[in-house]
Amino acid sequence: MTFLKRSKNCGELRSQNIGETVILNGWVHSRRDLGGLIFIDLRDRYGITQLVIRPELTPDVAEKAKPIRSEFVLWAKGTVHKRESINSKMPTGEIEISVEDCDIINPSELPPFEILDELDASEELRLKYRYLDLRRPALQNNFIIRNRVAQITHSFFYENNFIEIETPYLMKSTPEGARDFLVPSRIHKGKFYALPQSPQIYKQLLMVSGFDRYVQIVKCFRDEDLRSDRQPEFTQIDAEMSFVEQDDIIAVFEKFFKRLWKEVLGIEIQIPFPRLTYKDAMENYGSDKPDTRFEMKLHNLNQIFANTEFQVFANTIASNGIIAGFNAKGFGSYSRKQLDELTEFAKKYGAKGLSYIKFTDNSISSPILKFLKQEDIENLKQIFAVEDGDLLLIISDNWRTTYTALGALRLEIAKRGGIIESVKGQYNFLWVIDFPLFEWDENASRWVAMHHPFTSPNVSDLDLLDTNPGEARANAYDIVLNGVEIGGGSIRIHNEQVQKKMFDLLGLTEKQANDKFGFLLQALKYGAPPHGGIALGLDRLVMLLTGTDNIRDVIAFPKTTSGLSLMDNSPSEVDPDQLRELGLKI
């Protein structure tokens, strides 16, 4: 149980240390016994250093080294020597330690998988033995980067006069949108706290309190059916500012991203970022989080087909729908089967069908060829800069379906064509602005807030709340990077009457609004400043910075998609006494 404490770590010795006597502590990364020589690669967070034991010179040490296997914890004392064969791939590759004494601090059973970056163990097994999986240098590096992001965040906002204030985790349940995780109260039986889906209301109240600039790196919780890129608990960089407009918040966060990219990746990104309205994003890219690293833009074709004889298109135009398409460059050779696949793909996004026009071997083929006038074809060729070998994909449906399905197809084509792969390492930031304030929920037959109920309408659209809420735009903005929404925010409502009207439009009675949000409405009566903010998804941000597409690679102890922790088997059954104390029955 005692050990010689390290004088150096396993990553820091260089040729200038030659001749020094050092003590190292660490894990056996590998062990090679060449008879006359025993080599041990000793690993810690800082690197790997080669130990050499010479049985001829130090038979006692060789004897102690006999039982040593992978992942044993050792201490080793010795002298730094120049290596005979220098390993230029390792920072410590110029030296090795000639071991004078060593011993086992803690042995290890044979691990269920090797601690290697390229490992073929199932993710299930790796999650069960997460503490071993986390020994892999590639995975450790993700957390070192995550830590740097956190550090830069703390410093940047501190330097910019933001105050980190902790908001409560045990709060009021006000489900609006997603489901809350509930926490039963023992003292007040039958009552519940909720875990925060976001500190939204609390940070607004901090603005009412006059804290002026708030930031927090904070865990949030949503009890949703999980998708592969979601976790029940996730981390936000959450900020709020007073006496500001949209431009002020955007400016602060552009500087923040610039600093992050510079300090973490050494990359200079250009600010300001482009801004795209929601409408333009949808009509050009078929997405409110467009990946602009490549073009392949969508085009509206209503004009071209204004007098078409193709009944499907004519009907679409008659019903105020949209005909649009894009050039799947170089996909002209797609077979009937492949095109059928694309049609099925488009249908998943609500499209009723997919029209295509192939330009191959200087001829044109298309199921709708007979409806196309020569003029139409020339127009299409010009709009889409068609070359031989191209494929036009066209959808006609209502505005949302046409653009959403085309946007999904655009990404699918980019993936199949290797475009996504070819733009790796490129970082295209952009702001999407002027979102609609509301979406119409067909099932509930009512308006729902596209962002959340505290988002301010654009000042110029205030009157639309009374006349045509569906047309009102929100003073909201999303930050998008390479087709991923990494955050979003808005200017909030600071006027009690507007907030009440908002709740009313969302179908809350006055009583419901007061029960849920009475404390916010009350606060707005006592001099709330104009304010707004933003929240970034830290997990996604770190995924983009580390280049992983698995969210579990950036969370130390993640859950599976069904919310299980395979390591500790939570959630688990609890003692009946615990439930009795809470006054709960299953």
Site for a copy of itself in 542-561 (CB under 8 A): 555-557, 559
| Residues whose CB falls within 8 Å of the CB of residue 432, separated by 6 or more in sequence, listed in order | 275, 276, 277, 278, 281, 288, 289, 290, 477, 478, 480
Q: In this chain, which of 131, 387, 470, 580 binds a copy of itself, going by CB under 8 A?
A: 131
Strand partners, 474: 457
Q: In this chain, which of 22, 99, 127, 195 binds a copy of itself, going by CB under 8 A?
A: 195
Integer angstrom CA distances of residue 13 from 18, 54, 71, 93: 8, 21, 21, 9
Give residue 289's region: left, alpha or beta (phi > 0; psi -120 to 50).
beta
| Residues whose CB falls within 8 Å of the CB of residue 337, separated by 6 or more in sequence, listed in order | none
Using the rule CB under 8 A, is 124 a contact of a copy of itself?
no
3-class DSSP state of 313? helix
Structure tokens at 330: 């170089």
Nearest Cα to Cα of residue 117 among 145, 138, 89: 138
Within positions 96 to 115, which residues make up the interface with a copy of itself, using CB under 8 A? 105-109, 111
Using the rule CB under 8 A, is 280 a contact of a copy of itself?
no
Using the rule CB under 8 A, is 194 a contact of a copy of itself?
yes
| 484 vs 540: CA distance, rounded Å | 8
What is the closest distance, in whole angstroms, from the C-beta atom of residue 42 to a copy of itself in the complex? 11
Which residue, 274 or 571, is less far from a copy of itself as judged by CB?
Answer: 571
Q: In this chain, which of 319, 333, 550, 569 binds a copy of itself, going by CB under 8 A?
A: 569
Which residue, 33 or 496, is less far from a copy of itself as judged by CB?
Answer: 496
Which residue, 219 or 400, is less far from a copy of itself as judged by CB?
Answer: 219
Helix (H) or strand (E) holding 407: helix 399-416
Structure tokens at 409: 């197809």
Q: In this chain, which of 51, 208, 480, 486 binds a copy of itself, going by CB under 8 A?
A: 208
Using the rule CB under 8 A, is 84 a contact of a copy of itself?
no
Using the rule CB under 8 A, is 576 a contact of a copy of itself?
no
What is the closest distance, in whole angstroms, from the C-beta atom of residue 461 to a copy of itself in the complex? 11
Which residue, 2 or 443, is less far from a copy of itself as judged by CB?
Answer: 2
What is the closest distance, in whole angstroms, from the C-beta atom of residue 219 to a copy of itself in the complex? 5
Integer angstrom CA distances of residue 363 from 208, 332, 367, 375: 67, 11, 14, 16
Within positions 10 to 49, which residues make up the interface with a copy of itself, using CB under 8 A? 25, 27-28, 43-46
What is the closest distance, in whole angstroms, from the C-beta atom of residue 51 to a copy of itself in the complex? 16
Within positions 311 to 370, which residues make up the interface with a copy of itself, using CB under 8 A? none
Using the rule CB under 8 A, is 132 a contact of a copy of itself?
yes
Q: In this chain, which of 41, 65, 71, 322 binds a copy of itself, going by CB under 8 A?
A: 71
Q: In this chain, which of 39, 113, 143, 345 binds a copy of itself, going by CB under 8 A?
A: 143
What is the closest distance, in whole angstroms, from the C-beta atom of residue 456 to a copy of itself in the complex? 8
Using the rule CB under 8 A, is 497 a contact of a copy of itself?
no
Q: In this chain, which of 65, 244, 408, 432 binds a copy of itself, going by CB under 8 A?
A: 244
| 100 vs 48: CA distance, rounded Å | 19
| Residues whose CB falls within 8 Å of the CB of residue 126, separated by 6 or more in sequence, listed in order | 113, 119, 132, 133
What is the closest distance, in whole angstroms, from the C-beta atom of residue 33 to a copy of itself in the complex? 19
Helix (H) or strand (E) holding 22: strand 21-33
What is the closest distance, in whole angstroms, from the C-beta atom of residue 342 to a copy of itself in the complex? 34
| 501 vs 228: CA distance, rounded Å | 37
Structure tokens at 471: 């047309």
Within positions 154 to 193, which residues make up the interface with a copy of itself, using CB under 8 A? 154-155, 158, 163-173, 175, 179-193
Omega within 30 of 0 (cis) for the link into 571? yes
